[in-house]
Chains A and B, each alone.
Chain A
Amino acid sequence: MISIQDLGLSIMSDSPKPLYVVGGQEYGIKDKYIKTLTTHYGSKEEYPSVSAVVDFMSVKHLVPVPPAVYIVRYDETFVSAIDAKLAERIRKLRVNGTIFCVYDDPKHLAKIDKFLPDCTATIDAVNPKFVEKYLHDDFPKLDDRSIRIATNCAVSYGHARTICASMQYADPTTLANMSESALSFLFGCSNAAQEADIQRAIAGRNFNSAIKLLESYEGNLDNLVYTVLQTMIELEKCITSKYATSSLRDYSKFWTLEDVYNMFMNAYAELDELRSNTSTDVKSSLIYLFGLFTFRHVPSVEVMSNVS
């Protein structure tokens, strides 16, 4: 199986391969690659099965077939039919263009990968950094803030692209006047917006603000323990790398690496306690955790376990 990077490089090169079999849940990237290939060849055609394309290509045509991308979606007959003989036939086939087979379930790819490993790829999770990069390319008029909101609210690149497309059609002034929380709420991501606010309150070591936000938080409180862990990971990134981009960069001056480490370990210990003991109250655990960053130096787990 080829990696997502190699797949992208191959598709965007001047000579794409005659066949790609792409699986995974990230429909946005698949769609992006289909568009790239369509632009490259100038036309696209949908076929019901790979065998239909192979049969079409095997026949001699009086008028030469123009180059195109041949899209085949969810062809299960190809999965059951593929063997060494068919793979060899496909390899020898002179395709004027590219056959692009799309699947969702990676299980379908396992068998195809056995016979055609150099043109099979799966795209499931895309690093948010890449999602942001792709969105910047797709929507050059949108600012960094809008792209970041779309990335945070979306579950995939395809979803993020839909959010960006709708923001592109909105009035830029109205968009600029809306807060990050309001925009996240608009795109059905109210908890994420509140979590972003809580994340900033934690990063800013602002106990009062964190408690106020905790009181008004509508989502599952369990998630907030993960938010504390995530905040510490982000802060560590900002402290150790001056080139790292993060919305929490401005807050990193309030933290030392030792504090970040101790806070992460305390939050992890609380999470473990919450998962082990059903009588532990999540809200009390969060208030305890928020209390820790009010100390000048965040106490270590060992110190806190001796205290309790």
Chain B
Amino acid sequence: MLANSQKVALQELHELASINRQSVLIEGPRGCGKTYLSNQYANLLNVQEFHSVPPKVGDIREALDKVTLIDTPVVLQIENLDLGVAGASYTLLKSLEEPLPHVYIVITCRNAEAVPDTIISRSAVVNVGPPTLDDLDRYGIEKDRLKYSNVSSRLVWQCVRSFGEADEVLEMSPDEINYYESLSETCRFSDSVSNAVWKIGHYDSNKECNVELAIRSIAELMHKPFITKCSIDCVRDLDKGRIAPHAVLSKFVFNAKYGE
């Protein structure tokens, strides 16, 4: 299924594939389908070999070394380059400047500002927007119609903002779905911060929950402008992916309890 938010990006990728562009940078928020589009680019190029590489210097170096040993076309997807250290970007530079004829590099990132200019100037940049609510509904129906019909009216589905989260919600057990609605009890913040963080961050079965969904659920349940502001602030931090989710959750609880 192709989301509305991905249609323009796919059209751009189609044009880039037609000119055999070897380095592409796809920028978009978490869960907008960057990996899906990278795969589509490989399909448009008619390349069978597709490898995803984390943004670590060692992994990138190893992948680039391996592709020199083969001569079949290959697409290397460097995932979320902006989350890696600067060294990861510099490792890529030489391959972008003098690409091997059979190697295509697709870089994905959430924030192009955090990617060195030298990488951006050597790549064709494609932007993808976040999925719309309509996209998410259509995705849910296509993935699991029965489960979607059970969760579509629930709070947790209304807090979903990405395809990744939609997948997660569709896999949730009924207890886990109910959990997000029961957060109204924890929202009173009468507990200490550490207890509140533990309660919010874990399902009753002690399994860790999705912090981002929990924070959005609390904001929806409480309907207070200050809490909404705190939640937006924390969700933005989570989206950057630089700080551990439980540290972000602690900040949210601290702010909600003492910040006003």
Question: Which A residues contact B (CB, under 8 angstroms)?
Answer: 1-5, 106, 110, 113, 117, 121-127, 226, 229, 233-234, 236-237, 240-241, 244, 257-258, 261, 264-265, 268, 271-272, 275-276, 278
Contact = CB atoms under 8 A, between A and B. Distances in A.
B194 interface: yes
B214 to A, nearest CB: 16
Contact of B254 (A123, A124, A265): A265
11 contacts: A1-B173, A3-B204, A3-B206, A127-B198, A229-B247, A233-B197, A237-B195, A240-B192, A241-B192, A261-B258, A276-B240
B251 A125 contact: no
- Summarize A's interface: helix, strand, loop or mixed: helix
A126 B243 contact: no
- Summarize B's interface: helix, strand, loop or mixed: helix
A237 B205 contact: no
Nearest to B174: A117
A226 B206 contact: no
Given A124-B207, A233-B250, A272-B237, 12 more contacts: A3-B203, A4-B205, A124-B208, A125-B206, A126-B206, A229-B247, A236-B193, A236-B254, A237-B193, A240-B192, A272-B242, A278-B86
A278 B243 contact: no
Contacts of B197: 233
B193 A233 contact: yes
Nearest to B114: A276
Interface string B83-94: 001100000000
Nearest to A226: B247
A268 B171 contact: no
B206 A110 contact: no
Chain B interface extent, by class: 20 to 34
B232 to A, nearest CB: 15
B254 A125 contact: no
Given A233-B197, A237-B192, A272-B237, A4 B206 contact: yes
A106 B207 CA distance: 10
Contacts of A4: 205-206
Nearest to B241: A275
Nearest to B255: A265
Nearest to A244: B192
A1 B259 contact: no
B175 interface: yes
Contacts of A257: 258
A123 B203 CA distance: 12
A246 to B, nearest CB: 9
Residue among B192, B197, B203 with most chain A CB within 10 A: B192
Closest 6 CB pairs of A and B: A275-B242, A237-B192, A3-B205, A261-B258, A3-B204, A240-B192
A275 B243 contact: yes
Residue among B175, B240, B247, B250 with most chain A CB within 10 A: B247
A236 B197 CA distance: 12
B244 A110 contact: no
Interface string B192-222: 1111011000111111100000000000000
Contacts of B194: 233-234, 236-237
Contacts of B195: 237
Interface in B181-195: 192-195
A264 B173 CA distance: 35
Nearest to A241: B192
Residue among A2, A258, A275 with most chain B CB within 10 A: A275
Contacts of B114: 276
Contacts of B207: 106, 122, 124-125
B42 to A, nearest CB: 27
